[in-house]
Amino acid sequence: MASGEALTSSGYIVHHLTNLKVGEGFWTFHLDTLLVSGIIGLIAFLGMARIARKATSGVPGAIQSFVEIVLTFIDQQVKDTYHGRSPLVTPMAVTIFIWVFLMNAMDLIPVDFLPLILGTVGVHYFKAVPTTDPNLTFAMSLTVFATMLIMGVKVKGVGGFLHEVFCVPFGAKLAPLNLLFRIIEDIAKPISLSLRLFGNMYAGEMVFILIALLGVWQLPLALPWALFHILIITLQAFVFMMLTIVYLSMASESHG
């Protein structure tokens, strides 16, 4: 693309999976991931704020009704899963579900649409789906992990938290073994949380790219896959949200 030459199939795939980058090494920033996720987050925030301002206690409009259904559904999931009391969990669950869903939904835009537009202004690499970037999914999972630890200390106190770390499940005499198991358990949570979202969305994007290689024959496959993919992007947002609630619930409960 950058050279204006026709790409081979492998070159086409690599081109669509290359981020718009700046910097080198550890300090490499994926500008497309940062821009798209930030813009989507801002749109979601402003959109929800606008709906809240216009909300009425009378007969609601279609958009208000839909939002109320989504919020009621998420709030019920929190009540069924999180067994403590925290004003943070439901707003965090709502934010995660809506934000992740909208970022996933970028995968429904035809794979060549944005690259062709941006190519006219000299931007030759641009990944439009932030959740196909492991940097973003890991950043989100680490935020959940940090919240989990902070909530655990807040609910149980420093003494209770340390007691759980060193004394569960085998008692104080096997504190080193308890600590080892706790470290493995806690490290597995953000890794599994991030890789599950990244893997599913990356695979979905790869399927769209492979279908796009069919040229004019892609429509019979692209449309059914896009319709099926709506289920995937919704399910992955729901799974990320539910695992977050579960992890926060586990952090708030006493295990010893």
Judge whether 135 counts as a catalytic residue. no
Quote the DSSP letter at residue 17: T
Which listed residue (37, 104, 200, 249) is catalytic? 200
Across the chain, the runs of DSSP E, i.e. the strands, are 21-22, 29-30
Assigned domain for 60 exists: yes
Quote the DSSP letter at residue 21: E
Assigned domain for 107 exists: yes
Query: Range of 71's domain?
Result: 9-252
Task: Tell me which of 190 and 5 has the higher pLDDT.
Answer: 190
Assigned domain for 3 exists: no
Assigned domain for 40 exists: yes
Distance CA 198, CA 147 (A): 21
Average pLDDT over residues 227-244: 96
Which listed residue (9, 50, 65, 192) is catalytic? 192
Smallest CA-to-CA distance from 18 within 108, 118, 107, 132 is with 132
Assigned domain for 1 exists: no
Assigned domain for 32 exists: yes
Domain total for the chain?
A: 1
Whether the predicted pLDDT of 22 surpasses 50:
yes
Average pLDDT over residues 206-221: 87
Judge whether 200 counts as a catalytic residue. yes
Judge whether 19 counts as a catalytic residue. no
Average pLDDT over residues 88-92: 93
pLDDT given for residue 29 in this prediction: 94
Which listed residue (196, 249, 252, 254) is catalytic? 196
Assigned domain for 230 exists: yes
